[in-house]
Each structure stands twice: as structure tokens, then as C-alpha cells.
Amino acid sequence: MTSRSIEVIHLAGELDIARRSEISAALQVNGSEAGILVDCCKVTYADSTALAELLRFRNDAKNRQVPIAVLTGSTQFVRVIQYAGLNGVFEIFEHRAPALTYLSNAGKLP
């Protein structure tokens, strides 16, 4: 079987400028994914550096037609996206199951 699968990228802790290169390295898309779940459940803080990397990643994914979903329970994370005016730019989910359902439907699973 060579069916494409949904990849999960985990980010955790405080995502700020000190971790930019680590975040950048983690948020990569190669185009073979059926979808990518960015699991930010353990993110306790995110700043504009992290949001800029997420935006870049989302554009990369869009160009390669790979759907992405962001999973987060942190209210700071959700609010900072709003404050940045990026409402609606990311598909954000509080729970894993609906996020995976979204990716399954959005992705072109064989």
C-alpha cells in the first residue's frame, strides 16, 4: 500500500523568538501528505514569530494542496491569532476527532 497518510506535527511550550529555527524546521510540508495536523495542545504561549512561521507553513501547504488543521486548547493561542487579524486563515480545532475528520474530507485520500 502506498496510500498517503495524515501526518502530525507536535509543538509544545512557549513558542517565541528563541525557538524560531526549531519551529521553522518542524513546520515542513513535502507534498506527499494527505493532510497535516499541527498539534499545539501543549503550547502555552505563542508570539508573532510563531504565527509568521505558521503562516509560511500554511502557504507552503496550500501551494502543495495539502490541507492542514491546527489543534489547540490554549486560549492565549486562539486569542493571539485573533489579535493578529488571522481569524479564518487557519482551520482551528479544540478536539482531535473533528480535526482528523476535516483533514480526511479535505484531503484527497485514495
Task: Tell which one of 42, 56, 64, 108 touches other proteins (CB under 8 A).
Answer: 56
- Cα 41 to chain centroid distance, Å, stands at 11
Name the phi and psi angles at 61, rounded to 5. -65, -40
Site for other proteins in 75-104 (CB under 8 A): 75-76, 79-80, 82-86
Under the binding rule (CB under 8 A), the answer on residue 49 touching other proteins is yes
Under the binding rule (CB under 8 A), the answer on residue 1 touching other proteins is no
Looking up cell 525557538 gives 19
Task: Choose among 20, 89, 87, 68: nearest CA to 48.
Answer: 20
Q: Which residues are at the interface with other proteins (CB under 8 A)? A: 14, 16-18, 20, 45, 47-49, 51-52, 55-56, 75-76, 79-80, 82-86
